[in-house]
Amino acid sequence: MSQPSRGGVRHETVGPDRAGQRLDNFLISLLGPVPKSLVYRLVRTGQVRVNGSRAKPMKKLRAGDEVRVPPVKQPDSVPGSLPAGLVERVRACIVDQTEDYVILDKPAGLAMHGGSGLSYGLMDAIAKIDERWRPVHRLDRPTSGLIVLACHHQALRRLQQSFVAREVDKRYLALLDGILPEDRVCVDAPLKKIRDGSGQHRVIVDEEGQSARSTFHLLERVGGYSYVEVRIETGRTHQIRAHAASIGLPLVGDELYNPKPCPDGLNRLFLHAHYLRLSWPEDRVYSSPLPAELAQALEHLRAA
């Protein structure tokens, strides 16, 4: 039976990773498996507003924009329950909780939101824990590691402002397919979202894209691979993956940007958000160790 979404009207602040995204696509990713015709009707009738004003579906959003989202009934065909044990699995991933935010260590393979063929996402499980929590930023489905959830609207706005102002230090551990030519390589190249010949969405370096900067620090050369720490000053979609591919060193296990098979024993993207430093409401640092499957794959390569 269809049920209205809880909480009635909500106001979502556009994060830096969604800057440049069209309003219709933003709503589709937010609302999950609802008919696109419903999304366009909500926009057309003014039920969806951006910064208090009507907007067209193709309007490109900016970081910090506030989007009014009305309650939406889910289709009857959407499953009413999550996989057994998922909520407790997600609850066990909570690293820290304050009155303003929650730090969670997201497992690989779990999308932030349902939709696009997925009947559920991380935020569906989060809603079972506390429906007030909202993501400040996001990680790709195959990426594991630290994310921030705001506990209330004021914290959401303040934390997203910190991300936009580049007051947050985010670092990732990755394995590049090839040898990094120097100990430190900075890629400062704009990124643009496209749809390739197969219909898949991907990101490429393009002068008409959004500014993006990633710095790759070599930690270790392992056979024909480079184990690196990556610092990003911006938070574009697929930023690390697209920048790595643009210099001819795609991430290991990246099905979208790397046609080569994974090394033996690895069946996921080698990308993990391991370090997070927040400046608000006070300076705090969080870290997450390399997941066991990635650490084991690294040891196998060292022993080869």
Output 46 or 34, whichever has higher pLDDT: 46
Q: How does pLDDT run across 61-71, given as a tens digit for each residue?
A: 998 899 999 98
Q: What is the domain class of 1-78 according to CATH?
A: alpha beta
First to last CA, the chain: 55
- pLDDT above 70 covers what percent of the chain? 92
Distance CA 199, CA 193 (A): 12
pTM of the predicted model as reported, rounded to 2 decimal places: 0.77
d(CA 135, CA 156) in angstroms, rounded, equals 8
Q: Examine domains 80-165 and 167-303 and report if their fold is the same.
A: yes
**Mean pLDDT rounded to a whole number for the chain:** 89
Domain limits of the chain? 1-78, 80-165, 167-303
Backbone angles phi, psi at 33, to 5 degrees: -75, 70
Average pLDDT over residues 277-304: 95
70, 71, 69, 77: which is closest to 2 by C-alpha? 77
> Is the domain 80-165 a CATH 3.30.2350.10 member?
yes
Q: Which CATH number fits domain 167-303: 3.30.2230.10, 3.30.2350.10, 3.10.129.10, 3.30.70.141?
A: 3.30.2350.10
Q: Give catalytic residue positions.
A: 140
Token digits of residue 44: 């057309």
pLDDT digits (tens, 9 = 90+) for 209-250: 999 999 999 999 998 999 999 999 888 889 999 999 999 999
Rounded CA separation 233/99 (Å): 27
